[in-house]
Each structure stands twice: as structure tokens, then as C-alpha cells.
Amino acid sequence: MAFNSKIVFSHVSVSYPAASQPALKDFSIRLTNKHIIGIIGNSRAGKTTLCHLLAGTLPKMVDGEVSGHYQINQWSPQQDWGVYNHQTGVVLQDASSQLTSFTETVADELAFNLINRGIQSQQIKKKVRRVAQLFGLTNQLTLSPAALSGGQKQRLAIASVIVTDPAILIMDDPTSQMDPRGRQIFFHWLQQTTALVFITSYEVDALAEVADELWLMDKGQLVDHGTPFAVFNRFTSPRIKHPVCWQLAKKMGWVLPTDGQSYPVNYQQLEEAFHAAQDS
């Protein structure tokens, strides 16, 4: 699939009121045709700030001083917020608080964004059913959202956002409460989307499988970026978790035949390296 996306950040900095350090420092990047961008880094790296910038919620709703210029596809999240917001789906870090809290059933919650857009009720029903199936919530449609577990609430938050088929998805650690099965379902779905995705997560294994671009952040700065393969092989500090594939291959000495020194970061590459090691 070819993705027609354009991402521009030029010298973007963010400072929150009464904070001693800027949350984002001189962030610059220019990319085209990306599909899934994984954002990784330790606590206080600036990941959530970046998500708020991408969603346009900073500085519109969250107080902060923003300098520099940034643009996603043809839009500036800051200047074209209304139009841009119509194209985006955002999952915030605290996903369960993102639910409206006043819908009586999961189905109503899933329909909320569609009702707001004035969509016909027949269509709403269809879309709700489809998205519920996608996220394993079909059996919960008539339950109250309050009755769901943490992981289910997170799935509901995601489902109620993607029900409008947004062109751009911004997700801040969307799987933190999910059990391993839920996570597997989510990342599998993520790979199938046609949206441009920005996702922060501590799940480096999953990101290495699905992302075609990784941004490594530290203390508000972009430390490195590129494919997961490039980033994890360039940046080998123990302060960053590496995918299990990479760790396993490193331990076993399975390098990729293409350059004879890098280790695989996803299963496909692992197989390649494994067979190359077997052959030699």
C-alpha cells in the first residue's frame, strides 16, 4: 500500500506554564508517505505533548506556549483545527475518561461521534455493529460502559473514535490496560487500517512489527528516527527496551545477511537472519 502522507515539523518547542524545562525542544522532522509512526521514549520524553500537538488540543485546550511550525498532510492542527479535527481520531492516555460517561449502553457510546456528525440512524446502526465486531465488543453492546473492565474500556474508547473512519489517528499508549489477547487484536487491526497513525507505546515488540517509522524521544528531543530496524540497531543503550526478536538474535548471533552486522527487529527479519545463520 502506498500512503500519501506528509508530515512537517520545523523547530517546534513547547513550554508549560510554571515548568522549569520545556516539554518539547526544537523538534524538527520532514517525512512523506508514512503509514504507522511509533513514538517511543522514557517518561518525560515529550510523547504525550507531541500527541497533544498532533491532535491540535495543544495550545487550543491544554495551556502551553508553542513555537515553530508544523503541518500534517495539508492541515495545520493549530490553524485549521475544525477541519483538521474532522479528519482525526484521537485516543488520549486516560482512555476510560475519554468516554462520554453519560451514555447508557456501549452501542450509544459508539454512536456518539456519528450522531454529532448528523449521520442517518440506519447508517449509524450499521457502522456501530461493524466497529463492535472489529474490537470484540459485540456481546457488550447492551451493557453500560461503566460495567466494562479497564482493557474493555480502552477498546471501547478506540472503537468509538475510529467509527467515523478518520484519515489520521493519534493514540497515546492505547493498550496499557489490555491483556495480551486484547493487545494482539489491537495491533493486528492497526496494521490493516488505511489511516495515517501516530502511536506512543511501551510495546516495542508490536511497534517493530507494525510501524514503518519510529521516533525515539528523550527529554523533549527527537533523538533518532527511521525504520524500527534502523533505530534499534543504531541506538543500543540499555535505557531503551529492544524488541525480543532483536535480543534473541543478538544472543544467538543471527545477523541479517543484507549487511552482515544488524540484528532483526521483527519476525520476518528474524526468519531471514535465522535461515542465513543456518545456511552458513
Partner 1 sequence: MQNKSTSHHPLWKITLSPATITLIPVAVGINYVAKAFAEGLKLPVWLGSLGTFLASMLGGPLAGAISGFTNNIIYSLTLSPMSGVYSITSIAIGLTVGLLFARGWFKTKKCILLAALVIAVISAVISTPLNIIFYGGQTGIVWGDTVFALLVGHHFPVWVASFLDEFMLDILDKIVVAYLAAFIYHQLPQRLISFFKKVR
Partner 2 sequence: MTTLTWFQRFDPVTKLLLILCLGLASFVIPTLTINWLLVFILFLLAISIGKLSSLVKILSFSLFFIATMIIVQGLVNPGNHTLLWRIEILNFYKEGVNYALLLGSRLLTIVLTTFFFIATTSVTENARYLESQGIAFKKVYMFISVCYILPQMMANLHQIKLAQRARGIGQQKSWLYRFKMLFPILVPLVVKTLDQAMTRAIALQLREYDNPQRQPQPLIHHYLLARFNHYLLSILIIMLGGMKVWLLIQK
Partner 3 sequence: MQLKIHNLRFSYPQQQFTVKADHLDLQPGLTAMIGENGAGKSTLFKLLGGLVTTHQGKITVDQQPLKDFLKTERARKIGLAFQDPDDQFFNSSVKKEVEWELRQLKVPAKKQSETVTAVLKETNLSQQAQQNPYDLSLSDRKLLSIATVLAPNPQIALFDEPMIALDWPSQQLVSHIFTKLAKRGHTILVISHNLDWVAQNVPQVIVMGRGKVIFAGKTRDFLHQPTLVKKSNLLLPKVTRLTMALGINPPQYRL
Q: Coil, strand, or helix at residue 16?
A: coil
Closest CA to 72 of 9, 166, 161: 9
Other C-beta atoms within 10 Å of 101: how many? Answer: 10
Confirm or reject binding of residue 158 to partner 3 (CB under 8 A): no
Picked from partner 3, partner 2, partner 1, none, the partner binding residue 16 (CB below 5 to 8 A depending on kind) is partner 1
State the residues that interact with partner 1 by CB under 8 A.
16-19, 60-63
Decide whether 29 or 240 has the Cβ nearer to partner 3: 240
CA 221 to chain centre: 18
Other C-beta atoms within 10 Å of 138: how many? Answer: 12
CB 91 within 8 A of CB 97: no
The pattern of x and - marking residues 41 through 80 that bind partner 3 according to CB under 8 A reads xxxx------------------------------------
Nine-digit cell string for 27 = 523538534
Picked from partner 3, partner 1, partner 2, none, the partner binding residue 271 (CB below 5 to 8 A depending on kind) is partner 3
Picked from partner 3, partner 1, partner 2, none, the partner binding residue 17 (CB below 5 to 8 A depending on kind) is partner 1
Decide whether 162 or 217 has the Cβ nearer to partner 3: 217
Other C-beta atoms within 10 Å of 262: how many? Answer: 18
Confirm or reject binding of residue 143 to partner 3 (CB under 8 A): no
Confirm or reject binding of residue 146 to partner 3 (CB under 8 A): no
| Cα angle 98, 103, 107; round to 5 | 95
Picked from partner 2, partner 3, partner 1, none, the partner binding residue 178 (CB below 5 to 8 A depending on kind) is partner 3
Alpha helices in 179-227 (DSSP H): 180-192, 204-210
- Which residues form the interface with partner 3 (CB under 8 A)? 41-44, 93, 149-152, 173, 176-182, 184, 202, 205, 239-241, 244-245, 247-248, 267, 270-271, 274
